Amino acid sequence: MLTNSSSSNDLGRVLFQIDADPQFVISKPFADISRFSNFDNEEEILFMIGCIFRLIDIHKNNDKIWMIRMELRSDDEHDLKNLFEHMKKEYGGENNEVNLLLFSEVLRQMGKYDLAEKFFHRLSNELPSDDSILSELYYSLGLIMKDKSDYDSSLQWLHKSLEIKMGTNPSDYVNISRIFNCIGVNHWRKGDDNEALKWYNKGIELFKQTHDENHMSVAHFYNNVAVFYQNHKKYLEALNFYEKSVSIDEKHLPLNHSNIGTSHNNIGEMHRCPGHYDLALEHYNRCLQIGLKSLPPHHPDIANSYENLGLLHEDKGELTQALLYLEKAATIYHKSLPSEHPDVKRIEEDIQRVSS
């Protein structure tokens, strides 16, 4: 039973739906304690402290109740545990502001862009204007607007983040370079490749000056320089930078991290373009398996993997198989993105082309 929530705009009703298999989870048990309850009509399940849950879905139903579906996972699933520990290390700290920032970033990485944006704005309204966290917060808002294809708004947030960072901690070259990288990505998506390359090179130069060229952030720059060469159909140069990128990522990240999956997707692209279909299929499948293990089932990145597999089979003339993958991609895109999003329009064009 759900009680009525407070009239405060900060509060709402939440219902957790938890899938738990007692044969699957051993080290952190749970039990039905209904017979020990003080209320006869309550059916209570007690979970041991330290249980690990995987978020499957978050949405608001017609009764304006937040439905949060989770799945209890085994404590020995180190891939999920390592992934979360990496995120905690990346965003660090134990205070409430950082915890909310981390939670909002998790929502963004799940593809819940509107919900993440809401929490980021809430946090920005609660912080004093000179709080150092604002730079990180504005950076995250820039990422969200980039993900939503609103590149002008993204650039506005990113330049605000950069201005604060340069004013409060100009020696923080790691986070400054992250902002450079994202600014470059926005210019690339707006069609200005040369402006994008300028920002990527600024970031790489920062790490060269500090003799830290194997820093994990350099992998992002190598990846995006590879995109530049890919757009100019210089596939060998692009493949070289993609491989340098994944080589650095594998030194720093859990092997199921989405960045590594993205690198395999990009390497697959470089093999597909010149017609090396077997190699492309190998890397596309590695990307898909990483996504299925580390991302929610309706994340746009999983849709992108299905789409690329569909395009690969189209190139091979296997249209039935191609249509199967493209329709899987379309199902996810329609669930996770607004109807006017470029990815939604593109997949519909793909399906129409293959079906005709």
**pLDDT tens per residue, range 162-197:** 999 999 888 888 889 999 999 999 999 999 999 999
For residue 273, what are its two tokens? 């373009």
Burial (Cβ within 10 Å: 0-12, 13-18, ≥19) of residue 194: exposed
Other C-beta atoms closer than 10 Å to the C-beta of 329 total 25
Q: What is the pLDDT of residue 25?
A: 61
- Answer whether residue 141 shows pLDDT above 50: yes
Task: Return d(Cα 218, Cα 177) in angstroms, integer.
Answer: 9
Q: Which residue has the higher pLDDT, 259 or 22?
A: 259
d(CA 312, CA 319): 10
First to last CA, the chain: 51
Rounded to the nearest integer, the mean pLDDT of the chain is 85
Nearest CA-CA partner of 116 in 143, 88, 155: 143
Question: What are the two backbone dihedrals, phi and then psi, of residue 69, each rounded to the nearest 5 degrees?
Answer: -100, 130
pLDDT value at residue 83: 60
pLDDT at res. 59: 83
Q: State the average pLDDT over residues 326-344.
A: 94
Q: Which pLDDT tens digit goes with each residue over 194-223?
A: 999 999 989 888 888 877 788 888 888 898
Q: Are strands 66-73 and 52-60 parallel, antiparallel or unpaired?
A: antiparallel
Nearest to 127 by CA among 164, 179, 158: 164
Query: What pLDDT digit, counting tens, does each position of 50-90 carry?
Result: 677 878 888 888 888 989 998 887 755 555 566 656 655 65
Pairing mode, strands 30-32 and 14-19: unpaired
In eight-state DSSP terms, residue 256 is T
**Once rounded to an integer, what is the mean pLDDT over residues 270-277?**
94
Q: What is the rounded distance in angstroms from the CA atom of residue 26 to the CA atom of residue 62?
A: 36
Could you tell me the domains of the chain? 14-74 (no CATH), 262-290+297-356 (1.25.40.10)
pLDDT score of 174: 86
Higher pLDDT, 101 or 279: 279
State yes or no: pLDDT of 128 exceeds 80.
yes
For residue 1, the model assigns a pLDDT of 42
Encode pLDDT of 142-166 as tens digits.
999 999 999 999 999 999 999 999 9
- Residue type at 102 in one-letter notation: L
Task: Transcribe 160-210 into DSSP letters.
Answer: HHHHHHHHH-TT-HHHHHHHHHHHHHHHHHTT-HHHHHHHHHHHHHHHHHT
Show the tokens assigned to 171. 């020696």
Rounded CA gap, 322 and 35, in Å?
Answer: 54
User: Could you tell me the CA-to-CA distances from 146 to 43, 324, 340 in Å, in that order?
Assistant: 44, 29, 15
Q: Is pLDDT above 70 for 24? A: no
110 vs 292, residue with greater confidence: 292
Q: pLDDT value at position 165? A: 93
pLDDT above 60: residue 351: yes
Q: 229-268 pLDDT, tens per residue?
A: 998 999 999 999 999 999 999 998 888 888 899 999 999 9
Q: Does pLDDT of 5 surpass 80?
A: no
Q: Token pair for residue 276?
A: 């090396």
pLDDT at 6: 47
